[in-house]
Structure 1
Amino acid sequence: MIPRVLSIAGSDPSGGAGIQADIKSISALGGYAMAAVTALTAQNTRGVTAVHAVPPEMIRAQLDALSADVAIDAVKIGMLGTIAGIDVVSDWLRSHRPPVVVLDPVMVATSGDRLLEPPAEIALRALSALADVVTPNLPELAVLADEPAATDWNAALDQARRVSRRDGTVVLITGGHLAGERSPDAIVDARTEEVVVVDAARLDSTNTHGTGCSLSSALATVLARGESLDGALRETKSWLTEAIAAGPALGVGGGHGPVDHFVRTRAADEPARWWALTAAVRDRIDASPFVRALGDGTLTPAAFRHYVKQDALYLRDYARVLARASALAPTREEQTFWSDAATAAITGELELHTRFLGEEPAVSEMSSTTRAYLDHLLAAGPGYAVVVAAVLPCYWIYQDVGNRLAGRSHADHPYSSWLATYADTAFAAATRQAAAYVRAACAVAGADERLAAERAFVGSAHHELAFFSQQDHLLAD
């Protein structure tokens, strides 16, 4: 089921925080996002210049309209702004409480601007008792506790215990305001004395606009899917860490920039982006003397024989790389696919090459170009996404070139039977499946692994060009 998640929060016209960040976060984590607007702000990545509170009767009208028609699985509450707004939301929760309620006690923006009227801070403490989870940063935790801000992690945990015990709710504290190389978050539940800490390295980034909004709305979405609290925190923190790391690439604003909420969606399209990056390399392959001569039938027998021999020698170690992909694959289907591909490379493909050669290719005759390509493939890793990204060009470029060459075949073409292998429909289907597995691997890989996968793919494309071109000196009889 797709969780239906309502954000009750203020609007950020820059798109990085508030309901805009909530809608992106809920969508990125697989939910259906709805929003009831509590305040309009004039703000950008540098700060807030104006706030206009939505009248309480309009907030209530939005909430009543939604609850009269839509089954709401979770609600995330963000900026409320006024005591009247807090009272409206509190009353609505008492009569229409969704299964999951997450409160992000928004009081201070990343830029340091106050977003809540001081008298309303007291009312917000009462609202926290109606939530399943409260997600304050350390300054907000201090306001909820009505104490000075904690200056170290242990003090923050103690403060969270006191708030949890007083309000009977779970407190998820974030340690981003503390100094140090680590940035821990923790779930604190004084009712069970449970404390679950999820640690991560601190990112050196100014793209932190709206991180509190994004964390809380993402958490509400994952909890609505039925995940446990600690599991939801781990998934949410992992996603948000990637989103922060990818934020600078958005190029938005000159202050505290936004995170890239759809970093994993973009990652799933990485192979298409890599394909575009290699357009110039692929044009050079199409224009290479060997490929042109193979296509029009003027290729010399010596050049063709050299190509087939090197391809046969290549397949032996290429099969080992495919076997490694199978060993690393996360699903049985992927394991089977890569294992079958490795077997086919040894049995089917090598038999075909040997038949064209009339003999078994000798390992001692492997060219430096072929060896360089294989060394590149054998060095790919250590992650699964990197390995499969490295082998994908051997599928994709071969099929791409083959589709054009096969169309030039005719009865008198000296290499017509070979060209037919390029356009094999089963190989085209395998290429599509391999690309789908690479997309899936990239969607769950971290930023460093995706970058390594990109380098592996682009490197393989360059090796494909070199592999085709190594016969050029044999084109003249």
Structure 2
Amino acid sequence: MTPRTVLTIAGSDSGAGAGIQADLKVFAALGAYGTSVITAVTAQNTRGVDAVLPLPPGTVTEQLDSVLVDFTVRAVKTGVLGTPAVADAVAAVAKDGRLPHLVVDPVLVATSGHRLGVVAAVERLLPYARVATPNCAEAAAITGRPVTTVEEMVAAAEALAAGGPEHVVVTGGDVDADGEAVDVLHGGGVTTLLRAPRVDTRHNHGTGCSFSAAVAVRLAFGDPVPTAVAAAKEYVLRALTGARDWELGAGRGPLDHFGWSA
């Protein structure tokens, strides 16, 4: 059977733990054919981001046109956009209805503290998103309010959903809720808390990228959003658990995308 095609629009991670490289791993692991549009080239490893080079918006548009004219793309996810001009280029394609089942991972700041995008850039895409997947820091940057508790995650998800996305998932990997990792899904006026055991590991680089990529794959296969989000959370939990004892890099290492440690 011909595989479903999924597209990632994101930055390149030279350490391959996040960004385009992580997305393509997730697509392959979950049975989809991955295509890619690179928005920025980064120099990074497990210790942090050393440099970011955004690509010209025209180059991003040319990549998008090349993929979309030839492949039947079933779902799309975005990551690092880099500049407002690149966000405008991607938003123009989304406005034309050419980015189905769009999952927007609003990457604003790497955990290392290096800024990889701007709020204004992300806001250009949110009205076209079927699902937006900010972590707590990203949700706080976009809403302008603190997001440090589950209650504040719920409020942020509701506020973001009012700005355009059909569904919002505020991921709570940075919030310790009695030993659990709690994500908040809001859509259609309904709020759901998704709970999983917290995994004690330094190998968590690319968790947000992997989660949003997994959501996109499940949407490509026809899952409703709540089912896609739950499946993505289960996938990330397995990937975190599998990489827990790895010795890759000296900092925040990558996930076990393929179940090598199972």
Q: What TM-score range do you get, normalising by the shorter chain? A: over 0.9
Query: What is the letter of the counterpart of residue 111 of structure 2?
Result: T
In structure 2, what is the equivalent of residue 303 of structure 1?
Answer: none
Match of 2:168 among 168, 171, 194: 171
SS in structure 2 at match of 1:49: strand
Moved over 3 A (4+): none
How far apart are 1:57 and its partner, in Å?
0.7
Which structure is richer in relative contact order (CA contacts within 8 A, separation 6 or more)?
2
How many corresponding residue pairs? Answer: 260
Q: Distance in 1 between matches of 2:48 and 2:8?
A: 22
Match of 2:213 among 198, 213, 217: 217
How far apart are 1:250 and its partner, in Å?
4.0
Match of 1:152 among 124, 130, 149: 149
SS in structure 1 at match of 2:170: strand
Residues 1:105 and 2:102 are matched in the alignment: no
TM-score, structure 1 normalization? 0.53
Query: What is the letter of the counterpart of residue 196 of structure 2?
Result: A
How far apart are 1:249 and its partner, in Å?
4.3
Query: What is the letter of the counterpart of residue 150 of structure 2?
Result: W
Q: Which runs of 5+ in 2 are unaligned?
A: none
In structure 2, what is the equivalent of residue 262 of structure 1?
Answer: 258
SS in structure 2 at match of 1:129: helix
In structure 1, what is the equivalent of residue 21 of structure 2?
Answer: 20
Q: How does 1:21-420 map to 2 (within 5 A)?
A: 21-116=22-117, 120-145=118-143, 147-180=144-177, 181-189=179-187, 192-263=188-259, 266=260
Query: What is the letter of the counterpart of residue 163 of structure 1?
Result: L
Q: Distance in 2 between matches of 1:198 and 1:110?
A: 23
Q: Distance in 2 between matches of 1:151 and 1:38?
A: 30
Q: Which runs of 5+ in 1 are unaligned?
A: 268-446, 448-477
Q: Distance in 2 between matches of 1:160 and 1:198?
A: 13
Query: What is the letter of the counterpart of residue 225 of structure 2?
Result: L
Q: Distance in 2 between matches of 1:196 and 1:230?
A: 9
Q: Distance in 2 between matches of 1:186 and 1:163?
A: 12
Query: What is the letter of the counterpart of residue 175 of structure 2?
Result: L
Higher helix proportion = 1
CA contact (8 A) 1:77 1:104 kept: yes
Q: Distance in 1 between matches of 2:236 and 2:34?
A: 18
Query: What is the letter of the counterpart of residue 50 of structure 2?
Result: T
SS in structure 2 at match of 1:98: coil
How far apart are 1:86 and its partner, in Å?
0.4
Q: For 1:52-105, what per-residue CA distance to the aligned partner results, in whole angstroms no more than 9, with x for missing partners?
A: 011111101000111111111111011011011101100111224233100000
CA contact (8 A) 2:132 2:165 kept: no
How far apart are 1:224 and its partner, in Å?
0.9
How far apart are 1:152 and its partner, in Å?
1.1
Query: What is the letter of the counterpart of residue 35 of structure 2?
Result: M
How far apart are 1:233 and its partner, in Å?
1.6
Q: Distance in 1 between matches of 2:86 and 2:52?
A: 14
How far apart are 1:45 and its partner, in Å?
0.3
Q: Distance in 1 between matches of 2:54 and 2:165?
A: 29
Q: Distance in 2 between matches of 1:2 and 1:195?
A: 33
Give the root-mean-square deviation of aligned CA atoms. Answer: 1.4
CA contact (8 A) 1:248 1:257 kept: no
How far apart are 1:168 and its partner, in Å?
4.4
Q: Distance in 2 between matches of 1:14 and 1:42?
A: 8
- Identity, in percent, stands at 39
| Structure with the greater alpha carbon radius of gyration | 1
Q: Distance in 1 between matches of 2:120 and 2:101?
A: 23
**Closer, same or farther: CA 168–101 of 1 in aligned 2, 3 Å:** closer
